[in-house]
Structure 1
Amino acid sequence: MDIKKLLDTHIKSSQVLLTPLDIEEKIPLSEEAAKTVLRGRWQLEHILEGHDTRKFVVVGPCSIHDPDAALDYAQKLKTLSDRVRDRILIIMRVYFEKPRTTVGWKGLINDPDLDGSFHIEKGLLTARQLLLKIAELGLPAGTEALDPITPQYLSELVSWSAIGARTIESQTHREMASGLSMPVGLKNGTDGNIQVAIDALQASRNPHHFLGINGMGQVSIFKTQGNPYGHIILRGGGGKPNFNSEVIRWVESKLEELDLPQKIVVDCSHGNSNKDHRRQPQVFSEVVDRIAAGDRAIVGMMLESNLYAGKQSIPENRQDLQYGVSITDPCIGWEETEETILQAYQKLG
């Protein structure tokens, strides 16, 4: 019997990828970038511990598809960050991977040329280069941890991570969260189920053993000690928002029962804005009002924002792409982003 008939029967091809160390050598971490990342993690940890009374805001494009536009956005965001830093810690949303319910563009790492060519090695190099430039601006970055191998290539440049609504029940992602070197936000499910995020929070705080690759690309067994800086992200779902005071109180009580940190982030997009990007500032304002009135459980917010508002489909001719406009979820534009955060700054004074 030909044993080859048992192997890779649905695999069309495969290729060897550069190891994490190879890519780190090509795009090494600079001292200035390292300082930014570590400072961002330390500040987030202090906010989550209650030693820093500021709130943090994860804000930026739904996904990165144009590094030049992303860097343009980052420069504007750094200027805004400096204006509000005594009351608000700004983390730039730098998402390179997009989970899909069925099919669609999977993000810059998977398909950097936006044409189905899937030059993943190029995507990893492009993503790392952009993260390095953003960090060298002095701006910490946050991203979604989706593929369990990707963090080996990029995590030293990331100050905050999230486990998304589509992977929150995955054992692989809960184990990965327990070993990540930065604070991790855990989203409720796409149907609005918050209990799965609470379960994930419990799991991620505990030690785990799992398979992965090390810096040399070798398959390895990792033993984690658990991540003490996990926190819940409420993003709505099931056709309704979940950032109202009744839900917040319910989440607080559940966390207290389980002796878990009562720290909550509100994602002002997705279900909480009924998938209407224009409602994000209103949601953000309501959350800030609640914080200003004394709600101590809410430690941060998320906004999907780009240089220009709305979204666009990927055109057949890539030259027709509108600069600074999302190709995934619609975003609010820069001017509205700046106004929304400055208004929050005044309310939190």
Structure 2
Amino acid sequence: MPKLTLTQINAITNLANFLYSFLPGSGHEKWKGHITFKTIAIKLGLGNFLLQGNKLTMIKELLINTLEQKPNLFEKLMLEIVKEAIIYRNKQGKSLKPEDIDALNGYILALGFKFPDLWEPELRNSLELKNAQRAKEIFDQAKKEQELKNYRQMDRLKIIYELREAYINLAREVDRQKAGRDLEKLLNRLFEINDLKPREPFRVIGEEIDGSIELDHEIYLVEAKWEKDPISESSLLIFRGKIEGKSAFTRGIFISTSGISSQAKEAITTGKQPTFFVIDGYDLMMVLSDQIILIDLLRKKRRLLGDKGLVYVPYSEI
């Protein structure tokens, strides 16, 4: 930044006069942890801009040298002064007021700057209240947020238990085509309330449901089967082919209410690196009984897949 104009120097003189009462100038060298204009300047790497002289001269020269030589630090300098002044003035029983911030912004505008943090309504509001009032406001806000969180948790549990009843009823459904459609709705809802963002509607093909979810910013293909016997390796190999046909980053979740056969468990990890893990009916029931949150279950299964290459791990062993 070029040398300051006379108009700018006049504006800085006014700003320095205004900041004079914000903090001590330098303080005694034996004081520990004492915040002053000098300690702030040193903290920001502006210590060499401090000239010998009275407090007002020191503040003025600090502002001028910062603007001329390190203008990129001027905003940080102002914010640091205000932050420490709020604490210091409060201890002195002369707390900063909203009008002080308004005046400061006016002086800064005269220099051609506007710092968003100093224009935040929340800053003015915090200075309008006494400490006890402010503390009560913070407490009341936290209380409201906790009540809302509790309400959402109760709502989530209500939905979870409704889904559990629906899941139990699916086992009794004679029309397996209908059971497949109902399982589609159940899984969609379960994914939604866990913020897993199912990206496309599940397509029912017989009792097979295909779709995808997003877990920790990664895409997982999902396939679900409700069959009487444990799934054989052929279905898993087909699913692995679907995953490999997408991208190197795609992973999968195979949901089989009856689990997978021991032969399938061995075959799917032979020769190729596994790219998916399996959730069985018991896993689902544990989620729907609120014994474990779905996202936590998925992360545990994913960790076992990544660490040990395990595709299928019973709930009791995770």
Instruction: Say whether the fold is shared (TM-score over 0.5).
Output: no
Bigger helix share: 2
Bigger strand share: 1
